[in-house]
């Protein structure tokens, strides 16, 4: 098994790219041994969906694309990062009970913590940022992508 595997896709910052990002990550993880339909796979799909949605909605046109990085280190840790060129790091927005949005980061934090992972942010060299999740990986890796 490989010590490190990585897959990356760059997509336009458009609403339709959210489902493309979700499908891409699901396919990569399936190739690496995590079948779709499992609780873990569905949780990661939801997290990716929220991260990609944030990259599309909250960059206010300042990031024409976003990039999804999927990394698996030594069959132990899965990291997924979504990078955009907007300089502001995510923050919790107040969300009224009636609102349909504003809860993305709360959802991401809760799901990541529930699986024993963590959420963190890193700046990029061009002034943007990457929002990362890191999760323990317990599935044997079956293929390289």
What is the per-residue pLDDT across 38-55, written as a single tens digit (0 to 9) for each? 888 999 999 999 999 999
Question: Residue 45 and residue 123: Cα distance in Å, rounded?
Answer: 24
Whether 3 and 12 have beta carbons less than 8 Å apart is answered as: no
The gap from C-alpha 131 to its chain's centroid, in whole angstroms, comes to 7
Q: Which residues contact 28 (CB under 8 A, 6 or more apart)?
A: 7, 70, 145
The whole-number pLDDT of residue 99 equals 55
Q: Which residues contact 53 (CB under 8 A, 6 or more apart)?
A: 18, 104
Strands 77-84 and 118-123: unpaired
Beta-bridge mates of residue 7:
70
What global pTM score does this model have? 0.85
Per-residue pLDDT tens for 109-135? 889 999 899 999 999 999 999 999 999
């Amino acid at each position: 098994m490989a010590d490190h595997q990585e897959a990356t896709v760059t997509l336009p910052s458009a609403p339709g790219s959210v489902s493309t990002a979700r499908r891409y990550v699901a396919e990569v993880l399936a190739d690496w041994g995590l079948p779709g339909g499992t609780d873990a796979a569905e949780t990661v799909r939801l997290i990716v969906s929220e991260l990609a949605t944030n990259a599309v909605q909250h960059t206010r046109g300042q990031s024409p694309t976003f990039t999804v990085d999927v990394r698996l280190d030594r069959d132990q840790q899965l990291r997924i990062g979504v990078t955009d060129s907007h300089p502001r790091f995510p923050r919790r927005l107040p969300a009224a009970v009636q609102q349909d949005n504003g809860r993305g980061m709360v959802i991401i934090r809760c799901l990541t913590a529930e699986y024993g992972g963590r959420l963190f942010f890193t700046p990029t060299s061009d002034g943007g940022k990457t929002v990362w999740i890191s999760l323990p990986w317990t599935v044997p890796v079956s293929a390289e992508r």
